[in-house]
Amino acid sequence: MTTSEIGNDITFKKQLGLNYEIDQQYVGLKMKENNILSFNFRVPEDLKDEVESYFKRFKLGEPILVDIGGTGDMRCEFKGVSPVIKSKDKLDYYFLSVTLQEDKQYNPLEEEKCETCSGCGFH
C-alpha cells in the first residue's frame, strides 16, 4: 500500500494492545455534535458476538484509539454500546452501535507520556 492509499479496515485499540480490526464494509460512521462519533455495525451472525464482546470490555470514559484505513489514530473516549438487534428481513444481519467522543484537544505533555512504551498513544 502506498502512503496515499486508504486501507479497507478500521482498527479499534484498547489499552494493553487489545485491538479489534474489522472491514469497513460492515461499519457506517456518523458524526454528531460535540465530536460524538457513532460507529454503526451491520454484521453477519458469525461476527456478531465478536464485535459485541470486544466493546463490552470498555468502561464509560475509557480511552480508545481508532484508525480508519491506516490514516492514523484518533484519540476518543468510549461513551457506550447499544444492544444487538437482528435484521427483520430474511438476511441474517445484526446491528450494533458504538458511541465514542473524539478528544480533539488532547495533547500530552512530555512528562505525561508512558515511560515503558514507545508512543502507545494512550499517554
Q: Where are the domains of the chain?
A: 9-104
Which of 48, 61, 58, 63 shows the shortest CA–CA distance to 81? 58
User: What architecture is domain 9-104?
Assistant: Beta Barrel (2.40)
pLDDT tens per residue across span 27-58: 999 999 999 999 999 999 999 999 999 999 99
In the prediction, which pLDDT does 115 show? 54
Lowest mean pLDDT among 10-14, 72-76, 109-113: 109-113
**CA atoms of 93 and 49, how far apart (whole Å):** 12
Q: How confident is the model at residue 6 (pLDDT cuts 50, 70, 90)?
A: confident
pLDDT band at 121 (very low <50, low <70, confident <90, very high): low
Q: What's the chain's Rg over C-alpha atoms?
A: 15
* Burial (Cβ within 10 Å: 0-12, 13-18, ≥19) of residue 25: exposed
The C-alpha cell of 12 is what?
A: 479499534
Encoded amino acid at 120, one letter: C
pLDDT at 92: 86
Predicted pLDDT at 64: 96
